[in-house]
Structure 1
Amino acid sequence: MKIETVPATLNATDIYINIHCHQTGAKKSLEMINIATQDFDAAAAQNGFFSLGLHPWDLHRQDTETALSKISTASHHPKLLAIGECGLDKTIDAPLAVQTAAFFAQIKLAHQLGKPLIIHCVRAFNELIQIKKSSQNSKVAWIIHGFKGKPALAEQLLKHGFYLSFGAALMDPGSHAGAALRSIPLDRLFLETDAANVSIDAIYAAAAKMRGLDTATLRQQIMRNFKRVFLND
């Protein structure tokens, strides 16, 4: 099913695609708000396009089976565009085996539904790559959100088919995010605000400058990426 996501009042070249945020309301932007499964209800889904998933931080708040049931129930909602955020995080108390089981379950569901995965990964990229290699039957896109790793890590992830989404780290001169952004193909790129107090147009401006592009060209490219990955266009 093709979902018409571009508001009729805006031209595609005017829109800032924001694939991961926790609040909406930016002007001239198409936003995908992240909703945790335990917080999902019909009213929340009406506020805009959304992703839905069981975050590794929330494994103590909701069991995997309940989360999967909520995602399945919402799977036909026309504004549900992705599964996640979900993934692995070695900085939290939840055992990695428990995180991995929940992640595998959401990978399987994303494959069944034909929805991309929005992935949270902290200090577990080797494990993530191994999971990706073991999930070669999954044809949906795997997108690392909030990427701020080194170019070498970006190259390794791209080699295994991941997409990378960059956010507020691009504004931090001490981050590796800028160097990684300069090194990746534009057709594997997304941008986001996540929960940062920074506008999506500021992130686009920073990214465009780093790539030597005008913002209109970058908006057009990310619109193409968005349609291909999220709308199968």
Structure 2
Amino acid sequence: MKIESDPEALSLADAYIDIHCHQTRANQTLEIISIGTQDIDLVAAQKGFYSLGLHPWYLDREDTQTALMKISAASQDPKLLAIGECGLDKAIAAPLPLQTAAFTSQIDLAKQLGKPLIIHCVRAFNELIQIKKSTPNAETPWIIHGFNGNPTLAGQLIGHGFYLSFGAALLHPRSHAAEALRGTPIDRLFLETDAAKVSIDAIYATAAKMLGLDIATLRQQSLSNFKRVFLND
């Protein structure tokens, strides 16, 4: 059964929540499709929920002000649940000051709109934490998507108020993600498929086993987290 963008459907405790993916492909799943502002035309084709942001990889395709105007224009759409993915990436050529400016502009907009941020971060966690610490009244939830850092980094991020979203890296038992998951409070936890060719139920099954939970309990907690963070419930 496909869960549509219907508030009544959000009470279904047996739903899988996938907070970050790039295409609709699962049944019995509530998905947030990630769309870049350079691909704004894809929004019209979305029947479900989505996030919208200027990714650091695409700063050469679109200027920040144009991206912000597109996000603002879409902000009245009840299916737009988050800003992002946006963030910092030291593995690309774009200068970090340019990335930081685009990211902080999206932080400000997310605060204005009252929507959470879905964050891409590669090798720039110190800078990310400093931005978070220097952001006044940062009540907006910040979610690191595709987290694959070690438990020490996970603890630092959680201590600064971040949420962590884990994906296909959990399927590799020796990954940092598998180790970090076990130390992540369940109320700060999300799961996702991102662009991986893996089902969300496989990720839930693996995460539940690692956490010592049954899948139904993990689904129920994920739904509770989703409602609190994305729907202000």
Aligned-pair distance for 1:53?
Answer: 0.1
Taking a change above 3 Å as real, the CA distance of residues 6 and 87 of structure 1, as seen in their structure-2 partners, is farther
- In 2: Cα distance, 1:146 partner to 1:220 partner: 21
After superposition, what is the alpha-carbon deviation per residue over 1:28-55, rounded to whole angstroms, capped at 9, x for unaligned? Answer: 0000000000101275453310000000
Equivalent of residue 7 in structure 1, options 6, 9, 26: 9
Tell me the equivalent position of 1:182: 182
- Matches of 2:89 and 2:164, distance apart in 1: 17
SS at 2:60 equivalent = coil
Q: CA deviation at 1:101?
A: 0.1
- Relative to the length of structure 2, the TM-score reads 0.95
CA spacing shift, 1:218–1:98, aligned 2, 3 Å: same
- Counterpart mapping for 1:76-225 below 5 A: 76-225=76-225
CA contact (8 A) 1:6 1:30 kept: no
Tell me the equivalent position of 1:35.
Answer: 35
Shift of 1:6: 5.0
CA gap 1:12/1:40 in 2 versus in 1, 3 angstroms: same
Relative to structure 1, the CA distance from residue 191 to residue 122 in structure 2 (aligned partners, 3 Å threshold; closer, same or farther) is same
CA distance in 2, matches of 1:6, 1:144: 28
What stretches of structure 1 of length at least 5 have no aligned partner? none
TM-superposed deviation, 1:15: 0.2
1:35 aligns to what SS in structure 2?
A: strand
- Bigger drift between 135-144 and 116-125 goes to 135-144
**Length, aligned pairs only:** 229
Q: Show CA shifts across 1:134-165 (max 9, x none).
A: 11312110000000100000000000000000
**Distance in 1 (alpha carbons) for counterparts of 2:109 and 2:45:** 19
Secondary structure at the residue paired with 1:143? strand
* C-alpha RMSD of the superposition: 1.4
Alignment TM-score, normalising by the size of structure 1: 0.95
Counterpart code for 2:72: S
2: CA distance between counterparts of 1:147 and 1:165?
6
Distance 2:15 2:83 in 1: 23
Q: Which residue type is aligned with residue 175 of structure 1?
A: S
**Alignment partners' CA distance in 1, 2:16 and 2:81:** 17
Structure 2: tracts of 5 or more residues without a match: none
Provide Cα deviations, 1:165-209, integer angstroms capped at 9, x if missing partner. 000000012311011000011000000000000000000000000
Percent identity, aligned pairs only?
71
